[in-house]
Amino acid sequence: MTLTMTNTLLVHPDRGPILIFGGDLTNETKSVAHAVLSGKQAAMALDTFFQDGIDAIVPRLHACLVGQGPALSMEIYMGGPRRFRNPHILSYGELNTDYFQFKPRITQPRLLREERLRSFEEIDLKISTNLAIREADRCFNCGICNQCDNCYMFCPDMAVIRAKEGHERCINYDYCKGCGLCVVECPRNAMTLREEKL
């Protein structure tokens, strides 16, 4: 039996060991992101196979998709607390960029042209730890609340309350009129507004 997933191929012959192929062997796109996805997919598939059998792999992995896929969430798979986050993957236009300062992308240092002709050294050089941290700090953390309290400060009805335990914000629906100011002022689009069906 052969099970083909996005970046992983699982072959289970009638006799013999289970074979897993991943990364460059199964995908024309050769990138680190695809290699990580392939490894994660293989780990989840093998774990599910040994726990529940081969027929459970596709539904279990499908339940772990982030947005429309192909990204998988190990947090969802493991049943961690972040599995309750909104699975929607944000676009740049959905962020409130008024609250962010522009930080230019770091240019990766490269080997001098003359050196490239004389050696087989890596062309793209390593960046320092400080530069790597600075580049990572450019991340918007889309969809993740960082407790900026904009929702709390802008709510005209004082309906946004801080949870007693943890760092979550809750809405007191006895006071909320559904104006949506909290959602509009959230820099990272960590809040959503939806119409309730009565």
**SS3 at position 21:** strand
Measured CA to CA, the distance from residue 13 to residue 20 in angstroms comes to: 11
96, 187 Cβ separation under 8 angstroms: yes
- The reported pTM is 0.62
Q: Grade residue 14 by pLDDT with cuts at 50, 70 and 90.
A: low
Q: Is the pLDDT of residue 46 over 80?
A: yes
**SS3 at position 19:** strand
Burial classification of residue 20, based on how many CB atoms lie within 10 Å of its CB (0-12 exposed, 13-18 middle, 19 or more buried): buried
- So where are the chain's domains? 2-84, 101-136, 141-198
42, 5 Cβ separation under 8 angstroms: no
Measured CA to CA, the distance from residue 24 to residue 140 in angstroms comes to: 30
Fold of 141-198: Alpha-Beta Plaits (3.30.70)
